[in-house]
């Protein structure tokens, strides 16, 4: 299945049905009272998280969603049926943003969460609600209100406990395959990984956590270079990270390490404060161990510990795994994305209340009559 983590959709909740204008006309009651029923409420549009989903692929092929309108009222005191809600399934970890402002509407992080994306309109009152001792045959009713209409952006941010970062071809996918049962695509050329992969890691004491390998970062990733924005946003969910350095390359490993750290901080300062484990990979390659040892000594001066590992042979991976668990124990629980959180859809269209006092009925009658004359 194709991995799609962004989509923009337009939703329209159903309109409320109109109230009816009707009168009783039985054989022995030729001048019966008003009997127009109320209109039904329009259908809501609801987002619901489903753990069985892992992508927003369905929203790439269909981008318009409309809930049904409520039925209009009928005679003989019959109310119209309310429309059923339209439920759109999304994977856990989906962020809902307003397309125009970019503000966060909801952060759907857990399975089974329901969010009211667009509220259906309220049905109008039929003329039977407006009868009074002085107005026994009202010939007006209320129209239904319109349902909410929105254009939103859905962004899927993977729910991984530990995220793995580094330059392309650092061996992230190989290490995920070594530590978990995930089987990502692995090859000996840059940008083998084009989408994040998740693997469940079983620790020796029975605990488990989710490990993710992110596509390799390049200079300028925080500005979107190499699809950096799409990759880096997944790190915001992680509680800790593993920074993997390729020791087999004849490069300045310290400069590579600092370059990736810089991209993380420039994208989001909070990424620089996450618990971090550093590892020099591919020490099974000739001369790579010497470069890894030199890299370890240089970072020791900055009080940063480096683990020497090989994702191919498994050397050092158990010690790295222990360090990941310690990092998770020290990590803070990530907070929802509520910096720009806007109020969720509320019922801003209250159902018109029944008018109990005569002055209220008279006011409503006059207003509706004025509206009728203006239309004519």
Per DSSP, the residues of 211-236 read EEEPPPP-TTGGGTGGGHHHHHGGGG
Angle CA(219)–CA(224)–CA(229) in degrees, nearest 5? Answer: 110
A 10 A CB-CB count for 248 gives: 20
Residue 9's Cβ-side half-sphere holds a number of Cα atoms within 13 Å equal to 24
C-alpha span between 320 and 132 (Å, rounded): 80
C-alpha span between 39 and 352 (Å, rounded): 11
CB 118 within 8 A of CB 150: yes
Give strand ranges (E) for the chain.
6-12, 45-49, 64-66, 86-90, 94-98, 104-108, 114-118, 149-156, 162-165, 197-202, 208-213, 240-246, 275-281, 306-308
C-alpha span between 120 and 348 (Å, rounded): 10
| Residues recorded for the chain | 376
Question: Can you give the pLDDT at residue 126?
Answer: 93
Tell me the helices (H) and strands (E) count for the chain, helix number first.
7, 14
A 10 A CB-CB count for 61 gives: 8
- Residue 97 makes CB contacts below 8 A (sequence gap 6+) with 103, 104, 105, 152, 153, 154, 155
CB 89 within 8 A of CB 65: no
| Pairing between β-strand 208-213 and β-strand 162-165 as defined by DSSP bridges | parallel
- Classified as helix, coil or strand, 58 is helix
C-alpha span between 212 and 200 (Å, rounded): 9
C-alpha span between 276 and 326 (Å, rounded): 10
Question: Can you give the pLDDT at residue 68?
Answer: 96
Residue 108's Cβ-side half-sphere holds a number of Cα atoms within 13 Å equal to 27
Question: Can you give the pLDDT at residue 40?
Answer: 94
Question: Can you give the pLDDT at residue 338?
Answer: 52
- What is the pLDDT tens value at each position of the chain, 376 positions in all? 445 678 899 999 999 999 999 998 877 766 778 999 999 999 999 999 988 887 788 888 889 999 999 999 998 889 999 999 999 999 888 889 999 888 889 888 888 889 999 999 999 999 999 988 888 889 999 999 999 999 999 988 776 788 888 887 778 878 888 887 645 444 344 434 445 677 778 888 777 888 887 765 545 443 444 444 456 777 777 888 899 998 988 888 998 899 888 888 888 888 888 889 999 999 998 889 999 999 999 999 999 999 999 988 889 999 999 999 999 988 876 665 554 433 333 333 333 333 333 333 444 444 444 434 433 3
Q: What is the pTM of this model?
A: 0.63
Q: Find the DSSP H helices in the chain.
A: 58-61, 172-179, 228-232, 253-267, 288-300, 317-330, 358-375
C-alpha span between 96 and 84 (Å, rounded): 22
Q: Is the dihedral of CA 188, 189, 190, 192 positive or negative?
A: negative
CB 160 within 8 A of CB 198: yes
């Amino acid at each position: 299945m194709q991995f799609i983590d962004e989509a923009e959709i337009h939703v329209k909740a159903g309109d409320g049905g109109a109230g009816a204008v009707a009168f009783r006309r039985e054989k022995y009651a030729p001048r019966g009272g008003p009997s127009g029923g109320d209109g039904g409420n329009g259908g809501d549009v609801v987002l619901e998280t489903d753990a069985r989903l892992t992508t927003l692929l369905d929203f790439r092929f269909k981008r318009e969603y409309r809930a049904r309108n409520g039925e209009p009222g009928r005679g003989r005191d019959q109310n119209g049926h309310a429309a059923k809600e339209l439920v759109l399934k999304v994977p856990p970890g989906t962020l809902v943003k307003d397309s125009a402002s970019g503000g966060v509407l909801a952060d759907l992080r857990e399975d089974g969460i329901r969010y009211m994306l667009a509220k259906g309109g309220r049905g109008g009152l039929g003329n039977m609600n407006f009868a009074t001792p002085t107005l026994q045959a009202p010939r007006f009713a209320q129209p239904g209100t319109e349902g909410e209409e929105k254009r939103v952006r859905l962004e899927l941010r993977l729910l991984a406990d530990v995220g793995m970062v580094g330059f392309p071809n650092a061996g992230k996918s190989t290490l995920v395959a070594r530590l978990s049962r995930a089987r990502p695509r692995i090859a000996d050329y840059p940008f083998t990984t084009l989408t994040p992969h998740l693997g469940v890691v079983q620790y020796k004491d029975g605990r488990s956590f989710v490990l993710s390998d992110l596509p390799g970062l390049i200079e300028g990733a925080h500005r979107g270079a190499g699809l950096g924005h799409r990759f880096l946003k997944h790190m915001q969910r992680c509680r800790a990270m593993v920074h993997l350095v390729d020791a087999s390359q004849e490069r300045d490993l310290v400069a590579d390490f600092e370059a990736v750290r810089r991209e993380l901080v420039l994208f989001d300062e909070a990424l620089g404060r996450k618990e971090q484990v550093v590892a020099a990979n591919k020490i099974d390659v000739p001369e790579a161990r010497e470069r890894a040892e030199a890299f370890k000594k240089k970072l020791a001066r900055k009080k940063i510990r480096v683990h020497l590992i090989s994702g191919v042979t498994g050397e050092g991976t158990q010690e790295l795994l222990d360090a990941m668990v310690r990092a998770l124990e020290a990590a803070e629980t990530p907070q929802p994305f509520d910096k720009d959180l806007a109020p969720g859809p509320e019922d801003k269209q209250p159902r018109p209340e029944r008018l109990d006092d005569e002055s209220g009925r008279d006011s409503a009658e006059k207003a509706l009559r004025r509206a009728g004359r203006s239309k004519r």
